[in-house]
């Protein structure tokens, strides 16, 4: 916001106002909101920049796109807009994090007990209780600190850089130093450093899957766009911060930096979303309140009886302190904390980093897991899985990702470089008509082209493209829907060919021949029909179909075949989902992808059956919260969803009483990760903002690790109940012992120090052994526990009272015998 007292802001505001006057009044009339947005945010939002020409945007930011900003102007704008980074708030100092551990209700009870002991000048009791408290909070603090350090190691070590034009010179520097109005150059492999209004785009495709969930990169242009709505996918002339340039190159004007970018809007929503308490925290809070209430009721009753009996108030207060110490199981927080810490350490060995100790138990009661598709359920690596040649051969390709792992099989035979001429011809066209590169397992270029290169590597034919010389190229665009390359073989440069790949309908209609055993045969209606039928089957299976053709003339092409490409499910994911469903956990897929792709992947994973129901983000927008809550238990696939839709889905499930886990890796998952009961982010492919929002990070991106976490969570709660029963039996026995002695006018059999010794030293190790005991397989296979169930149930209380009665009876008999002998 501009302020009168700031001369820099006033000067910049005056310049902006003049620049806006030069933009046509017609355009301003079309969108009267623009001026208010400029005045309020001082940065042009990408949704507004998309509606204006690049010349108008450059005029607004007072920048010459051939020169860039000068250093003086950059300095002014940095003072006004700040750095191009996110302010997550000042990091909490270690001492504050340590003191935060004292907020636990049981710890507060112990502190109160220690304070009373100090007031009674029973310093040895106070010291003992304080030592118990320090042990608990220190163990919890150290484990959570270790988890934070492990998470920091996952973050990118190299800060993002950008290529920016300033003072007419192209410079490379940290992206955090960009300001609105800077001119940025983009090339293959670059991360877009801020929101850009593109003014040059040459075959530019940007991977926006972290925002939209779409596996296919978005083809970018520079034309002014009439937006039908505010959806990100419509803004073809905008490059969004954090997205990846897959192919081509371009230039753009920075219109949004830091928290004023689209990335930043999601970050702000995420920061404002308060993560819910875990079920274990709620259970322990309830336990602490129950213990406090019942203990003080009994203590009050005993003191009242003593006063009625005519005892001194000071004597009764001393007994009350002993009762308070007896009522609170001092060893319980230690055992719970150590058990959770050991669980976190076990999970770390299984490649899962848990940020907070209670989170490790939460998965034991999760009954719904919402999964992002791209990069979580699937690899986010397009893979060629099927080929069909014009002469009727079917080939299947194994292996996932941009590497040579996998094989090609045709009619139960392994396909190698020259073993099947028709298949080789498909790969030949697919690799020559291709601009992608696979370097060190990473892709530079279009994902579909990377899939073709990986397939060539699997059949040992990656060198085919080096046998040809490219003479001319016509890149793929949305109008022609095909890519054409004019080339010649190095050994016969006199013969020139056109190699073409693209949409089947467009290419098939241009072909007069089809390829059969190395020869061109006249195209027939039957061949035409067979190809379309095969393509239809691939489409039903969720495959993206690409056709291949070649010829010496563009009007006399020879059809070679089609390939089916998909972003495949991760290995073992279907089995993991089946196991989860078998143990009572519902799995739902939430994606920004299209309906066809979402239902096809859902079918492969066992989440969607033909005739089933899937709903879109638009449908969710038109539903009330109550309507969504009614239908959501029956829906397993949600498509075309935005961060807002994902958040609404999570809240609807939670309102239905579900404990919700959310897995994701993209910027568009951050809000849902934060609002879920447990957010689970991917460690390798996950964005920094998703890791920040999540409670648990899967280091190796393996979804099956969640199964191990669920087992760990169920086992931990089962063990916690066991040692709660053990420790409460002792505490209640001590409470009853002192109470009965007081009523019977016997001497107090136990002082506060002896009770502390029993609770911490004598009961601690046996209780801890219960906390690490291996859990029976029957417990793991049980459905998720209901979060409304308290730790202390009626059955557990009966067991505790029986155990306490036996302890009290034996102790009183021994005490009575000893007293009578003296």
**Residues with catalytic function:** 372
- CA 683 from chain centre, in angstroms, equals 9
Q: Identify each DSSP E strand in 625-677 by its residue range.
A: 637-639, 660-664
CA distances from 36 to 25, 28, 79 (A): 15, 11, 22
- Token output for 61: 């930011």
State how far the Cα of 603 lies from the Cα of 4, in Å rounded to an integer.
Answer: 61
**Cβ burial, residue 313 (10 Å; 0-12/13-18/19+):** exposed
State how far the Cα of 539 lies from the Cα of 705, in Å rounded to an integer.
Answer: 32
- Token output for 529: 């029909």
DSSP character for 191? B
- Whether the Cβ atoms of residue 127 and residue 753 lie closer than 8 Å to each other: no
- Whether the Cβ atoms of residue 280 and residue 362 lie closer than 8 Å to each other: yes
Scanning the structure block, which residue is given the tokens 């350490």?
345
State how far the Cα of 113 lies from the Cα of 299, in Å rounded to an integer.
Answer: 13
- Using DSSP's 3-state secondary structure scheme, residue 369 falls into strand
DSSP conformation letters of 375-431: IIIB-SS-EEEEEEETTS-EEEE---SSSS-S-EEETTEE--TTT-HHHHHHHHHHH
696-698 and 678-682: which strand pairing?
parallel
- Whether the Cβ atoms of residue 243 and residue 213 lie closer than 8 Å to each other: no
Point out which residues pair with 474 in neighbouring strands.
Answer: 484
Nearest by Cα to 23 from 13, 14, 12, 34: 34
- Using DSSP's 3-state secondary structure scheme, residue 672 falls into helix
- Whether the Cβ atoms of residue 635 and residue 615 lie closer than 8 Å to each other: yes
**Positive or negative torsion for Cα 650, 576, 586, 717:** negative
DSSP conformation letters of 303-358: HHHHHHTT--HHHHHHHHHHHHHHHS-THHHHHHHHHHHHHHHHHHHTTEEESSTT
- Token output for 685: 């492919």
State how far the Cα of 531 lies from the Cα of 537, in Å rounded to an integer.
Answer: 10
């Amino acid at each position: 916001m501009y302020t009168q007292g700031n001369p820099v802001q006033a000067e910049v505001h005056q310049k902006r106002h003049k620049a806006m006057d030069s933009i046509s009044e017609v355009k301003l009339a079309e969108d009267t909101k623009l001026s208010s947005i400029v005045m309020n945010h001082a940065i042009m939002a990408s949704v507004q920049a998309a509606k204006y020409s690049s010349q108008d945007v450059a005029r607004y930011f007072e920048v010459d796109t051939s020169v860039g900003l000068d250093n003086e102007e950059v300095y002014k704008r940095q003072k006004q807009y700040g750095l191009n980074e996110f302010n997550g708030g000042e990091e909490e100092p270690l001492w504050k994090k340590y003191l935060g551990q004292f907020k636990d209700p049981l710890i507060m009870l112990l502190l109160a007990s220690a304070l009373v002991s100090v007031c009674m000048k029973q310093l040895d009791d106070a010291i003992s209780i304080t030592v118990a408290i320090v042990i608990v909070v220190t163990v919890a603090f150290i484990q959570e600190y270790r988890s934070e350090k492990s998470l920091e190691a996952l973050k990118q070590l190299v800060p993002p850089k950008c290529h920016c034009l300033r003072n007419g010179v192209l410079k490379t520097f940290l992206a955090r130093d960009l300001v609105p109005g800077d001119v940025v150059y983009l090339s293959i492999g670059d991360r877009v450093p801020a929101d850009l209004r593109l003014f040059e785009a040459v075959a530019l495709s940007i991977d926006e899957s972290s925002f939209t969930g779409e596996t296919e990169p978005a083809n970018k242009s520079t034309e002014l766009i009439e937006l039908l709505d505010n959806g990100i996918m419509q803004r073809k002339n905008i490059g969004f911060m954090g997205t990846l340039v897959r192919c081509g190159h371009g230039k753009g004007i920075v219109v949004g930096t830091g928290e004023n970018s689209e990335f930043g809007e999601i970050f702000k929503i995420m920061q404002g979303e308060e993560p819910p308490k875990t079920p274990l925290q709620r259970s322990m809070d309830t336990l602490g309140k129950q213990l406090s209430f019942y203990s003080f009721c009994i203590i009050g009753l005993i003191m009242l009886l003593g006063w009625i009996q005519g005892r001194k108030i000071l004597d009764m207060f001393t007994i009350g302190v002993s009762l308070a110490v007896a009522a609170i199981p001092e060893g319980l927080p230690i055992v719970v904390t150590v058990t959770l810490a050991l669980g976190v350490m076990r999970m770390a060995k299984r490649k899962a980093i848990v940020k907070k100790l209670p989170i490790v138990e939460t998965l034991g009661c999760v009954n719904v897991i919402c999964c992002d598709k791209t990069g979580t359920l699937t690899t986010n690596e397009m893979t060629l899985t099927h080929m069909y040649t014009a002469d009727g051969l079917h080939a299947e390709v194994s292996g996932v990702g941009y590497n040579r792992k996998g094989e090609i099989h045709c009619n139960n035979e392994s396909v190698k470089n020259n073993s099947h001429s028709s298949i080789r011809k498909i790969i030949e066209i697919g690799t020559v008509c291709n601009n992608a590169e696979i370097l060190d397992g990473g892709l530079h270029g279009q994902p579909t082209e990377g899939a073709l290169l990986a397939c060539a590597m699997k059949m040992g034919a990656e060198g085919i493209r080096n046998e040809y010389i490219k003479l001319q190229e016509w890149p793929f665009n949305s109008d022609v829907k095909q890519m054409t390359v004019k080339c010649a073989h190095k050994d016969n440069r006199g013969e020139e060919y056109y190699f073409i790949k693209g949409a089947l309908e467009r290419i098939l209609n241009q072909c007069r021949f089809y390829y059969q055993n190395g020869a061109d045969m006249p195209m027939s209606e039957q061949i035409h029909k067979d190809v379309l039928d095969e393509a239809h089957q691939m489409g039903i299976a969720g495959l993206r179909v690409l056709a291949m053709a070649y010829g010496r003339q563009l009007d006399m092409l020879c059809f070679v075949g089609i390939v089916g490409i998909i972003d495949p499910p991760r290995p073992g994911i279907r089995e993991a989902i089946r196991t989860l469903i078998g143990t009572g956990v519902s799995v739902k897929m939430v994606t920004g992808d299209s309906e066809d792709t979402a239902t096809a992947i859902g079918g492969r994973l066992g989440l969607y059956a033909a005739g089933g129901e899937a709903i879109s983000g638009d449908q969710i927008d038109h539903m009330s919260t109550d309507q969504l809550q009614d239908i959501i238990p029956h829906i397993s696939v949600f498509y075309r969803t935005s961060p807002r839709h994902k958040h609404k889905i999570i809240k609807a499930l939670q309102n239905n009483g579900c404990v919700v886990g959310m897995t994701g890796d993209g910027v568009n998952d951050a809000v849902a990760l934060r609002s879920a009961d447990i957010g689970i982010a991917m460690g390798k492919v996950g964005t920094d903002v998703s890791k920040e929002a999540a409670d648990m990070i899967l280091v190796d991106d393996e979804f099956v690790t969640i199964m191990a976490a669920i087992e760990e969570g169920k086992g931990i709660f089962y063990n916690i109940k066991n040692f709660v029963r053990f420790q409460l039996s002792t505490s209640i026995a001590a409470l009853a012992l002192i109470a009965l002695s007081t009523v019977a006018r016997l001497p107090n059999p136990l002082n506060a120090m002896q009770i502390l010794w029993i609770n911490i030293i004598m009961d601690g190790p046996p209780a801890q052994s219960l906390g690490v005991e291996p859990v029976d397989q029957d417990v793991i296979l049980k459905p998720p526990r209901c979060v409304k169930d308290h730790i202390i149930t009626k059955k557990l209380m009966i067991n505790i009272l029986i155990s306490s009665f036996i302890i009290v009876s034996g102790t009183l008999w021994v005490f009575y015998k000893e007293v009578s002998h003296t």
